[in-house]
Structure 1
Amino acid sequence: MKSYTKQQLALRNGNDREEIWCAFQGKIYDVSRSKLWRNGKHYEHWAGQDLTEELKDAPHNANVFDKFEVVGYLEG
């Protein structure tokens, strides 16, 4: 599976490209099909970022990522 830099991930924000991706614990997930990520925004969170640190403040746990496809790994 392909690896992406933070800069490459940032382009998958729903604005610069059609893909809406987020990273969590080193994996990159495609959240494009989720209505909750429409336009690359989910409440106060933005796509194209590593959300590992932000999840601890979320009202859900890491299992929320289980329903999304892993499309790559985040470098470094």
Structure 2
Amino acid sequence: MRRFTIEELARYNGKDGMPAHIAYRGQVYDVSSSFLWQSGRHQVLHEAGADLTAALDQAHPAYWLLR
């Protein structure tokens, strides 16, 4: 699996033809094909190209139950 620095991840913001990637708990996910991430944004709250661990844990606190 490819590793990303924070600076590299920031380039994958879904803008100017770049794919949209997000990081969650140390893993990077390509969300480009999701209609929820059009133009590198998700529901006006989150930007692609960033680590969204804290935001996702707050929005979905029962994630650990699904593992």
Q: TM-score, normalised by structure 2?
A: 0.81
- Equivalent residues in 2 for 1:12-51 (5 A)? 12-43=12-43, 44-51=45-52
Percent identity over the alignment? 42
Larger radius of gyration: 2
After superposition, the CA RMSD in angstroms is 2.0
Q: Secondary structure at the match of 1:53?
A: helix
Name stretches of at least 5 consecutive residues in structure 1 with no aligned partner. 63-76
Which residue matches 2:56? Answer: 55
Write 1 or 2 for the structure with the bigger share of strand: 1
What does the per-residue CA deviation read over 1:1-34, in whole Å, with 9 as the maximum and x for residues that have no partner?
2211000000000115421000000000000000
Aligned residues: 63
Going from structure 1 to structure 2, the CA distance change for 1:17 and 1:56 (only over 3 Å counts) comes to same
Write 1 or 2 for the structure with the bigger share of helix: 2
Q: Secondary structure at the match of 1:57?
A: helix
Q: CA deviation at 1:57?
A: 2.9
Distance 1:9 1:51 in 2: 12
Name stretches of at least 5 consecutive residues in structure 2 with no aligned partner. none
> Relative contact order, CA 8 A, sep 6+: which one is greater?
1
